[in-house]
Amino acid sequence: MSGRRRIFISSVQKELAAERRALADFIHGDPLLRRFFEVFLFEDLPASGRRADEVYLEEVDRCDVYLGLLGNDYGYEDAEGISPTQREFERATAAGKERLIFVKGDTDSTRHPKMQALVRQVGAQLIRRRFNDTPELTAQVYSSLVEYPRYDQPLQGCWCVCASVSAGGGPIHPDLMAAENVADRPARRASRHQVGTKSAPS
């Protein structure tokens, strides 16, 4: 499918390497999400002569969704004392990107002081979610992504309210609902067959 929305995953790479890769694999492997989204990971780029900060900020500009993972580490600080993760978040904010933020862990006191400040900054601007392991993270990201188009221009048509097969209910875009219905057709055919052939009570 052409015109997929681009997701930029932002975090301290070393600390959250496993979560970054797991999210990319999950989105690209999910039969529903992969129809509508593609993921950019900085670590997937080949070696080049370009400055890293130029590349990742350009990729933020290209993305439709900024997906931030905040852990304990603040990361490398540039000459102004700002980490790439914070630069990316502020770039996405200035550009009006859709921002989805997930904070690892329930205790903020163990975080780097500048990461504590970033978590507070994020919380003052939007709804963030916390996670403790990868399955919890992927479930929360799925819930956010299936609702994403209603905050942006619809992919096609208009919104309706229906029961979501995959996400457990809520507003689902018609294109997403159609993709789910395709997978559900065999079960519905079997159900109709059972109803049609059920014998009359004796």
SS (H, E, C) the chain: CCCCEEEEEECCCCCCHHHHHHHHHHHHHCCCHHHCEEEECHHHCCCCCCCHHHHHHHHHHHCCEEEEEECCCCCCCCCCCCCHHHHHHHHHHHCCCEEEEEEECCCCCCCCHHHHHHHHHHHCCCCCEEECCHHHHHHHHHHHHHHHHHHCCCCCCCCEEECCCCCCCEEECHHHHHHHHHHHHHHHHHHHHHHHHCCCCC
- Which residues lie closer than 8 Å to 175 by C-beta, 6 or more apart? 35, 36, 155, 156, 157
- pLDDT at position 52 is 80
The pLDDT score that the predictor gives to residue 130 is: 98
pLDDT band at residue 46 under the 50/70/90 scheme: confident
What digits encode the pLDDT tens for the residues 95-139?
999 999 999 999 999 999 999 999 999 999 999 999 999 999 999
pLDDT tens profile 146-188? 988 654 444 333 232 323 333 344 444 445 545 544 444 444 4
pLDDT confidence of residue 29: 97
Name the nearest CA neighbour of 105 among 144, 69, 141.
69
Residue 194 has pLDDT above 90, yes or no: no
What's the mean pLDDT when you consider all of the chain?
Answer: 80
Give the residue carrying structure tokens 């052939």. 197
Of residues 124, 25, 21, 106, the one with CA closest to residue 70: 106
Q: How many CA atoms lie within 13 A of 113 on its CB side?
A: 1
